[in-house]
Structure formats: structure tokens, C-alpha cells
Structure 1
Amino acid sequence: MENNISFDGFIQIALVVKDIQKTAETWARFFNIPVPEIQNHAPARNPELTYRGQPAYYGLKFAVIKAGNFVIELHEPDEHDSTFREFLDKHGNGVHHLGFQVGDKRDAIIGELEEMGYAMRTIGFYPGSSWTIVDSEDDLGVNLNIKPRA
């Protein structure tokens, strides 16, 4: 790739799980830390979120375990179509994506990945940044999350 993804930008591992409470408690015991807060995001219409090119509508339970500048994210999807539900139905519990902060190279990297045949599975925007899940699990064994900023 002309616009490579740097290891310096490796910022997250995201797991999709069937039972976020149990998983969060187990990780907390493993690291001897408090159980992370579990946020419950109900399904909502959001024009800033797409799934496989269409407006997305899904709910998600979400927790973050912070480890310095790196995070482990836990995702428990609801029954609606989403990248997380798709992964859970296909694989069960597992690593959904690796997240990379790429700065101003985000659009160039996404463009190159699309040229290489990787579909943009989910695109979302939030104040100050965005996230793009690249469907790379068949070739890489995991999806990628490309973000300009964390």
C-alpha cells in the first residue's frame, strides 16, 4: 500500500460477545481491575451510521477496558443487522476488529483498501472523528477499524 497503516497507530482490539456482563467481569478478574461500565445504546435512527452501504439501525451494549493509550472494547449486539451481529452469528465470541488511528491518511487508506477489493462494512461519525470497519476477515482473519483520531 502506498498509504500504509503504521503499527504506531494500533489503538484497539474489539471483541464481540454473547454476554457482555460475564465477559466484562472475567476480564476485570484477569487484569485485577474494576468491572468496566457497560453502556447500553438502544437502536436509533442515525444518518451518520451505515451498515453495508445502507442506513444502520441497531442497539449495542458496549464496554471499554483502558490500558494506557490502548483499549479493549467489548460489544454485545442486539438482534438488528449490524457488523457486530453479522460477526457474532457467523463466528460466535471473538475478535471483531483491530483499530488503527491513521490521522489525515484515513481517506487515502480507505480508498486503497476499496481498490484492493475490501468492502466498507460500517461507517460511523461522531464529534471530532469517525470510524470505518473494513471487511477484511476472509483475508486477514479479522476486520480493520480505520479512524483519523481516537
Structure 2
Amino acid sequence: MTNKTQFENGVLGTNVIAQIGILVHDIDTVSQAYADFFGVEKPQWNWTDTVDVAQTEFEGVSSEARSKLAFFDMGSLQLELIEPDQHPSTWRNHLNEHGEGPHHIAFIINGMKDKVTLMESKNMRLVQKGEYTGGRYAYMDTFKDLKIMLELLENDK
């Protein structure tokens, strides 16, 4: 069996990590630290959309949760800094419980509903989901098996 066949048969249909998400208390300070470290321009941060646009759900319930996001494009991988507001979310809970640091690794997938259903059948439950301009996301609780949260990103065609 070739590697390509193995990955096509995997749960996600890909093995390419697209993004690493890091939770922070102060996005301006941490963005500047990364910019200085990598010798790149500090990216501007943006708020996630409001609940009416993002349709954010946390633990199956609509949530006003928003975050400031800043992105560093690092070749084939994107580094995402996340500073959550105080509303209930996976970001806020994780930051409160574990402090600053890694929150998730993300994969670009096709067929969000099918992937979520498949992962839930493997006891990897949906924690939070929402929409963004051009697509949708879902955070899956994969800590038991994979020791980190996975984010699924599906971009509109």
C-alpha cells in the first residue's frame, strides 16, 4: 500500500497540517514577538464574526464567543494566534484551564458533515463549530487519542 492510498483511506482524507493555533492573553504583544523572531511584518489582528454571521455553537449551544485572530503564513503552514473574549468557547475554556500555548492543529478537508459524523463515531466529539467568510470550521475533541484538539476547515469551492 502506498502512502497516498493510506492517507486517502485515513479519517480526514489528508495528512497535511494546514495550521497550528496558539491561545494568547495579549495578541499585540505575542504577534510582535513572533514578527521579531521570524523577521517578518507584524500582522494586523481581526475579530471573528458576530454570532449572527458566524453561527457559533459551543457544546451544542449558540454562543456569542468571539476572538481576535492574527495569522502568520509560514510556507505551507499557517500560525494562528487567538485571543478569546470572555464568552463561553473552546478557546476561553482552554486558556482558563491550561494557560497560553497550543490549542489545535488544523486540516483542510472536504465534506464537513461526513467528517464530523465519522469522527464522532470514533468518540471524537464536536466541541465548537461556526462559519467564516468563505467556509466553516469545527473543533473536534481528539485529546484522548491524539493529545491535541483538531480543527477541520472546509473552504467553499
Q: Percent identity?
A: 25
Deviations 1:94-136, CA, capped at 9 Å, x for gaps: 11111101123x3322111111112211111234321000012
For 2:128, what is the secondary structure of its paired residue?
Answer: strand
Q: Where does residue 18 of structure 1 map in the other structure?
A: 25
Q: Is it true that 1:99 corresponds to 2:106 in the alignment? A: yes
SS at match of 1:117: coil
Look up the match of 2:46: 39
Runs of 4+, deviation exceeding 3 Å? none
Considering only aligned residues, what root-mean-square deviation do their CA atoms show, in Å? 2.1
**Secondary structure at the residue paired with 2:18?**
strand
TM-score scaled by structure 2? 0.83
CA deviation string 1:2-21 (max 9, x = no partner)? 5522213x210010111111
Count matched residues. Answer: 147
The answer to whether the Cα contact below 8 Å between 2:56 and 2:65 also exists between their aligned partners in 1 is: no
CA distance in 2 between counterparts of 1:33 and 1:127 reads: 26
Secondary structure of the corresponding residue to residue 118 of structure 2:
helix
Residue number in structure 2 paired with 1:7: 15
Please say which of residues 18-27 and 33-42 is displaced more in the overlay: 33-42
Q: SS where residue 4 of structure 1 aligns?
A: coil
Q: 5 Å matches for 1:1-150?
A: 3-5=10-12, 6-8=14-16, 10-41=17-48, 44-46=50-52, 48-104=55-111, 106-149=112-155
CA distance in structure 2 between the aligned counterparts of 1:75 and 1:11, rounded to whole angstroms: 16
Distance change (3 Å), C-alpha of 1:25 and 1:148:
same
Q: What's the TM-score, normalizing by structure 1?
A: 0.87
Partner of 2:3 in structure 1? none
With over 3 angstroms needed to count, the CA separation of the structure-2 counterparts of 1:41 and 1:108, relative to structure 1, is closer
Q: What residue identity is the alignment partner of 2:100? A: N
Counterpart of 1:103 in 2: which secondary structure? coil
| Unaligned 5+ runs, structure 1 | none
**Secondary structure in 2 matching 1:34:** coil
